[in-house]
Amino acid sequence: MNILIVDDESLQRNLLAGFLAKQGYTAIEAASGEEALHRFMADAVGLVLLDHRMPDLGGDEVLERMKAINPLVPVIMITAYGAVDTAVRAMQLGADDFLEKPVDLELLLARIRAIEERFYIADDAARVEEAIDVESLPVRLIAVSTAMRQVLSLALRAAPSPWTVLIQGETGTGKELIARLVHLLSPRKQAPFVALNCAAVPEGLFESELFGHEKGAFTGAVNRRRGVMEQAHGGTLMLDEVGELPLAVQAKLLRSLQEQTICRVGGEQPIPVDVRIVAATNRDLKQMAADGEFREDLYFRLNVIKIEIPPLRRRKEEIPELIRFFLAKLDSPAVLDDQALQQLTKYHFPGNVRELEHILQRTVTLARSPRIGLRDLPPEIRDYRGQAAEGDLVNRLAEIERQLLIEALERHQWVQTKAATDLGISERVLRYKMERLEIVKRK
């Protein structure tokens, strides 16, 4: 991999270049922001090490311009010691990580390898087109859309690895289902899968829930209790809604993960634990870290392999199959007529798949006959007029962008290099937009 080192101090550049060369990387050096942008566009750069303070163009401006050229290339910002505000700003602008000077070379190598692993898996999932046998999976999943098949592709590749997985998605999209799939396809499948809903734990009981407690450790601790980390020993621990963890608890969790030991509340003896963490959240942890609401070091620890589950409104082609699945689960003979099915497909489902299941439970229970029509649907579904009526500008703009990209691709017989040139963007940015907008070649 080519790594672009941007620093106006030649000694620092030479030090980093020599170290990276020994690790098998190719170092490209730039002594200024302008030179860095020139090399960035001229060479196939896989990662950027960017100094924040430079005399001509500062690191923030260089970062913004690089991300405008290619938003997929990871950037590690190198800041002066203790410059927390600088780090926060860098992450807001799109930096993937930051390090303080003097640079700890072993820590740098660890961060590079974590980014490399994350991008390798993501690129692989986007590139591979092989069929996934959904029926053979150990959990029942509906994956008709391209977006969900990419989620499955990532999960299948992540499962055998030892790395931490971060699952992001709105409430009700099926994050725990994917977490269980990762566990059941991993070498830890015979060991326990333990899930902790962090949003449901009172703040004063987090340590006890995670690490356990000894008898008499606090009022009400009448017996010794094992925490979820100890219960999941040898297996997988899912931390659902991990963004709800208090900062003080985050620090203790990070230390336990680093040292692979815990200490029960009220105890003194360290207890070895071997757990794989699968974290899930409906919040933007990167932004929370930039805002000081989530520990950056814990975020980097959790965000090794990221799986993003799209909301149901972005994979509406799965709604008919999900309806069949839930009706079978209810053991119901009910059938939806065309009008009811069309209205359900139009609805935007803020509660996602879970909301669809609850709607069907209610409708089947209250319907007067097995044939469900428009009149049997709840009023908020029956009277829904579509997102355009709600002024959903974001979705309309995305659809316009999607149509423009498809027109350019069809104009050039789906040759991405030519379409990208026509659109005035790089081929890699085009691929990024195609993935984000779920654009696939029409057969």
> b/e per residue, 412-430, with b = 16+ CB within 10 A?
beeeeeebbeebebbebbb
Do 299 and 96 contact (CB within 8 A), yes or no?
A: no
**Cα 59-62-64 angle, rounded to 5 deg:** 110
SS3 of the chain: helix, strand, coil, percent, to 5: 50, 15, 35
pLDDT of 308:
92
pLDDT exceeds cutoff 60 at 321: yes
How far apart CA 363 and CA 27 sit, in angstroms, is 62
CA distance 337 to 351: 23
Q: In 272-302, which positions are buried (b, 16+ CB within 10 angstroms) versus exposed (e)?
A: ebebbbbbbbbeebbebbbeeebbbebbbbb
Four-residue CA torsion sign, 123, 315, 145, 155: positive
Side chain identity, residue 405: L
DSSP-assigned beta bridge partners for residue 226: 212
pLDDT in tens, 333-358: 999 999 999 899 889 899 999 999 99
Instruction: Report the alpha-carbon distance of residue 166 to residue 173 in Å, rounded.
Output: 14
The answer on pLDDT for 50 being more than 80 is yes
pLDDT, tens digit, 9 for 90 and up, residues 88-134: 666 767 787 888 888 889 888 988 887 776 665 455 444 443 445 66
| Residue found by looking up tokens 């029956």 in the block | 382
Confidence band for 442, pLDDT divided at 50, 70 and 90: low
Quick check: helix, strand or coil at residue 235? coil
